[in-house]
Structure 1
Amino acid sequence: MERLKTLCRAGVLWLVAGGALLTVQCLSLKAEEAVSVVPAWQRFRAEHLTSEQAGRLLISELNCQSCHGSYAGLTVQPRQAPILTAAAQRLNPAHVRQFLQNPQQVKPGTVMPRLHTAASDPAVLDALTAFLTAGGGWRAMAISADAVRRGEDLFHRVGCAACHGDQRSAEVIDALRRGLAPPADEEDEDDPDAVAKSAKTAATQSDFLMPLGRLEEKYSLAGLMQFLREPHLVRPGGRMPSLNLSPEESRDVASYLLRKVQVEANIEYEYFEGSWDKLPDFSALKAVSKGTTTDFSAGIGARQNDFALRFLGYVQIPRAGEYRVHVTSDDGSRVLIGEREVVNNDGIHPPVGRSGTVQLTAGSHALVVEYFEQGGGEELSVEIEGPGLSRQPLSALTTLTREAR
């Protein structure tokens, strides 16, 4: 944007297209002010575009025609804005309100203009937010630590980092480049030097990256999963490519991007130690420990081998119909809803996925998830989909008590 800033400081940006002269008065830009990130401009600004070429590119990328229409002699491909259908299911109403009030502050680099009426009138903000999120049931979902670990690897392997930058610390990036084992993970929120480390990381990467923003304040897990699988259904004019992610991969990448989400514990668990080659009779065992958690995760175990877990809770079904439950585990697992076994994935095996269907009425149903690990790797994920419900972690619909909170 340096060239654009220079032109703006001069006072006038001349955009010549098809014999028509468009004069755009620009206010001086302070160095610290947020500016829109226009991918095509950033990509081609080094090509020494003429003023006419630059203007044509910017009018297209900023979608000026959506408000001003086309005019004689100008043929510019319009850029379609994001689709707001089903926004209520994927977006946090608090985020929507904040974004409408100040788009650049919430998402640095966005080309969404600031609506001064909305910014200055709380009633306008409330009305727009209510309309856009009507009928939604957004709430923060628990994020699986296992999925976050897998998602971090996928994010930096399938191409996400090429546009959004390496999200790991500068020390990890340097170690990986030198072929060394990366240093132990650090919790940024407990690290007083986290901001400095983040700046150092950014300095080692390309000067043009699309900022991710604070996704944990924007998306539901299910909404981000769906976007990652089919980005053009939401943003037909966007440049986010389809990465051909499987449902499991989209869940893991979304979990990594939403790793800072914090929710209250909503699942009870019992932890057992012993060696089995199939799921034990939990009623005949004495638990080593008990507690509450936010996800059906194998990582709760104090050991890496020879342990078992039983999770207890209630699944809150929003609408009557047929639901499909998906389980991936290493080693054995099974899921019971009510008194019915929905999925049986028992035995010693590497990560294996199995699914089962069940007819459920709307309301609360007792839920049990059983799991054991003998040796080798350990993994457990449980997901559900059904009428009006996209595939998402079962923990998102689980509560500690029969009454939904």
Structure 2
Amino acid sequence: MSNEHITTAYQNAKQVFARYGVDTEQALAELKTTPISIHCWQGDDVRGFESPDVALSGGIQTTGNYPGAASTPAELRADMEKAFSLIPGKKRVNLHAIYLDSDEHVERDQIKPEHFARWVEWAKQHDLGLDFNPTLFSHPKADDGLTLSHPSEEVRQFWVEHVKASRKVSEYFGRELGSPSVMNIWIPDGMKDMPVDRLAPRQRLLDALDDALAEKIDPAYHKDAVESKLFGIGAEAYTVGSNEFYLAYASTRNTALCLDAGHFHPTEMISDKISACSLYVQDLLLHVTRPVRWDSDHVVSFDDETQAIMREIVRNQLQDRVSIGLDFFDASINRVAAWVIGTRNAQKALLKALLEPTAQLKAAEAEFDFTTRLGLMEEAHSLPWAAVWDYYCAQNQVPVGFDWMKDIKDYEATINETR
């Protein structure tokens, strides 16, 4: 499609939306300045560069053996650059601690900002923000299935020191790049079969987190977030860091709360939790993913839940309080394409939410005119938002429609010769 046709379609769509009281220019301006934090671990199947040969553990699993996985920080950054060239808008990169770029082995409780300096220089070159995560899995001291809740004080303290060190790295990101790094804490702790004592591990986790987060860090540079999970492989019967635990922790300790779309019962939706949690927690972090029957972290699709998540943010005007991050790892398809598909779908859903005639819908609801509400909600799905999306891509000089796949195929052919 030519730029002329794209612009004409957009101008026609603009007039249609105007009849519903929606300003497409305002929606595009907001979309352009709303960053999506793109997770690095899609590019190498969550192996990292600390000890790449260590098997993935902690109740998570990557499936597939598609060729071309990144095996060095330089390869991973190159893959992300290719993906970013096909994704419009503002972007951040989310790093795990195991993605340090160091010429020597560094134990996790000893990581320092300098071990991530090359990531910061790269982020500066590409106008990217950086977010961070301590890595409390795939390590000998996590083999018991317990980390911050471990009964051994020595093991617990090791992980406490790792979280403390990670906060310093996160703060470094924020200072160097001029925007706060959101550091998310997720632990795999749990048990495969029914425990007798559910309380003691949670008490230990509470104390360990309080210790790890005791130092005050300027939120202009760093924000702590905590993330719950329902279960994992090897922790089917009991998860120490449950939803109730972390919701209470975030609300009483003034941390951000991370809601991961795959970390609840299959019939639970985080879109329904956003408004409720926002009453008690100032800042929310979202891990947008696509669970299929369990926390399988499939590539984000333009599905009902992804759209509902973005509508909840926009309808409740929570854009300044919600950080949007992605979390999936699919090794069965081209990994760069996975980033492109998932991120563009998240952005499409956000744009569609920004183009919803929210004012009219809320007015109908306030008047108990539920017939108009339902009719307009359904009609809004058919409004020409796709023409606005195509225009946005063209304005950001990234491929429109499916044209990006040719770039992926060309890039894949190149890297397959060298990896």
Q: TM-score, normalised to structure 2's length?
A: 0.26
Q: TM-score, normalised to structure 1's length?
A: 0.27
Does 1 or 2 have the higher relative contact order (CA < 8 Å, sep 6+)? 2
Whichever structure has more strand as a proportion of its residues is: 1
Q: Highest Rg: 1 or 2?
A: 1
